Structure 1
């Protein structure tokens, strides 16, 4: 059975069994789209079905897009990894943050992993206000001494650095320099216009996936972000419309195409994103060990997660980023392969028993590629 047919079979089986609600999968091999599949329901309240253009909240899959923007500017000599963030963004260099470098930010070593407890939905949707909050933060550990995941701060920390260095806010920068040239503008963005909201899947926590509750979509702007579940945030128009470069809204097709270019040395269909040397630098192991925020084992390059056995990415040379709910996008340069999964049942299982791992393994097997961890 070929990869497309095998993927369609699995997706429909997962939906029929109740394991998943709605999902998309896309994969590229050596510059060709070899899997483009979807199944299930985008919104149980209306019965709207998932199709190839349904948008999903991909959460931290957006960090890979942000990292790519930073590396593009580094390739052009506009950003220096070892320069202080404050060299580009002077207001940031207070409260002991003057020594935080771009490299520290890319490797989650800045020491400012958590937003203040009173940070609200309205703060998140206001670029200047969110950046001012980040600029005023005080490190909770000595910058550079440990790597601990910065779930949301990562986006503004690097996004405002991009803006100060280039002049364009990161959402405009990626549209003009990355997603537009690749033909995926509207299929991979940090935030979406109101006209695109009808394309977005309704997300639910795994335990609540069969409910149609929508009240959280109307939470007021002064609601503290920490009081909202991942699903509530994923469904909220303020979150969907905000430029939050730690996250992305998009399709599996769009995310897989980004990584298809990176899997081929930075070029796809005549569009050059990064040089091969830059990709090698960005995806070499920069930090590894136990994450100081999550307490889990990790391997990181510069902004990208690196593969580990027993995870969907698997191999050490694979790079990309996952997000809340088991969405993922990654590149496997050794095999010129890329894969992306988007789903609206926000499960949290990265073991071989998970949907995402099973799909990655089945597609690799169908294409004759080594399995995750092999």
Structure 2
């Protein structure tokens, strides 16, 4: 209860100062929920308050859920990490991509980090067209040789592999394999049913977007509020509650979704090098940057599992900023609050 009060106090301060508009935080520790806090308004235009079940479009935070589906495909014996993508998706095996594996996809080493020329935000709702274009693309490097953040292509790669193996969309798999069994149906979404759009928080830009950046690397409120994107199955981005994300990551840690052996494997360094998109050094496990397992989202959201401490953390928010200061502050508060409980 002390940690709950501390987190709530920080959220109230952030909203009161104008640094944030609306946000949610959820934390699980060693399988138990220890924080579920909300503050502010979901939609400044109407004054609708944030509730625990308010959905937030959270950009690349969705990659954590996509990576999980990849691991569940392996756990179900449908594919191996070193299975060639072309064995599942024959059209992909051209222009030097013949040896690309699921491992390469999960470590962002597949060599197709950007959407093919001619495709833009309006094409995201047409996964068949996007998949066909990615399959025909020439890699920017030999698959497996380098890494570079696959902003939107990551989800379409995992999604097309999953579709060919199961016949189902990533959104359906996320619901049937993860959200429903964990008791958070409707709180983990790759595509939101039109009837649920009214539940979403309304995003807002804290500053004018950087028009010089590629649209793939430029999260904006205009894009994140677009019903065409929100209702499409685009598994590099997603719409979530913090409660849903924290529950998902807790279930990764405690064995409800993957085995302890598999957790150990995906927590190991699978690739280390310089990111060819951003230029920073990275250490990647299978599907996640290390040492935590999870992805931040453009605009400031963040969700992850920390195997060493048994902690899962999720922050969703609707004021898009260029840094992760709010997430870092809250993670510090949580870490300090749990220190005495971590053995």
TM-score class normalised by the smaller sequence? over 0.9
- RMSD of the alignment, in Å? 2.0
The answer on 1:287 being equivalent to 2:271 is: yes
User: Please, which runs of 5 or more residues in structure 2 have no aligned partner?
Assistant: none
Aligned counterpart, 2:225? 235
Find the aligned partners of 2:113 and 2:21 in 1 and give their Cα distance.
32
Aligned counterpart, 2:319? 345
The answer on 1:324 being equivalent to 2:298 is: yes
- Contact kept in structure 1, 2:97 and 2:138, CA below 8 Å: yes
Find the aligned partners of 1:369 and 1:158 in 2 and give their Cα distance.
39
- Contact kept in structure 2, 1:121 and 1:238, CA below 8 Å: no
The answer on 1:76 being equivalent to 2:76 is: yes
Aligned 1:105-254 pairs, distance under 5 A: 105-207=105-207, 229-254=219-244
- Contact kept in structure 1, 2:146 and 2:273, CA below 8 Å: no
Find the aligned partners of 1:145 and 1:56 in 2 and give their Cα distance.
36
The answer on 1:26 being equivalent to 2:26 is: yes
Name which of 330, 336, 343 aligns with 1:359. Answer: 330
- CA offset at residue 366 of structure 1? 1.6
TM-score, normalization by structure 1: 0.86
Find the aligned partners of 2:174 and 2:109 in 1 and give their Cα distance.
24
Q: Secondary structure, in 3 states, of the residue corresponding to 1:338? A: strand
- CA offset at residue 252 of structure 1? 0.4
Aligned counterpart, 1:258? 248
- CA offset at residue 263 of structure 1? 2.0
The answer on 1:303 being equivalent to 2:274 is: no
Q: Secondary structure, in 3 states, of the residue corresponding to 1:53? A: coil
- CA deviations 1:318-357 (Å, max 9, x no partner) are 321111112111112232211100111111224xxx1101
User: Please, which runs of 5 or more residues in structure 1 have no aligned partner?
Assistant: 210-223, 268-272, 308-317
- Contact kept in structure 2, 1:2 and 1:367, CA below 8 Å: no
Superposed structure 1 runs of 4+ greater than 4 Å apart: 224-229
- CA offset at residue 240 of structure 1? 0.5
- Contact kept in structure 2, 1:364 and 1:370, CA below 8 Å: no
Aligned 1:272-283 pairs, distance under 5 A: 273-283=257-267
Find the aligned partners of 1:136 and 1:50 in 2 and give their Cα distance.
43
Q: Secondary structure, in 3 states, of the residue corresponding to 1:207? A: coil
TM-score, normalization by structure 2: 0.93
Q: Secondary structure, in 3 states, of the residue corresponding to 1:181? A: coil
Aligned counterpart, 1:368? 339
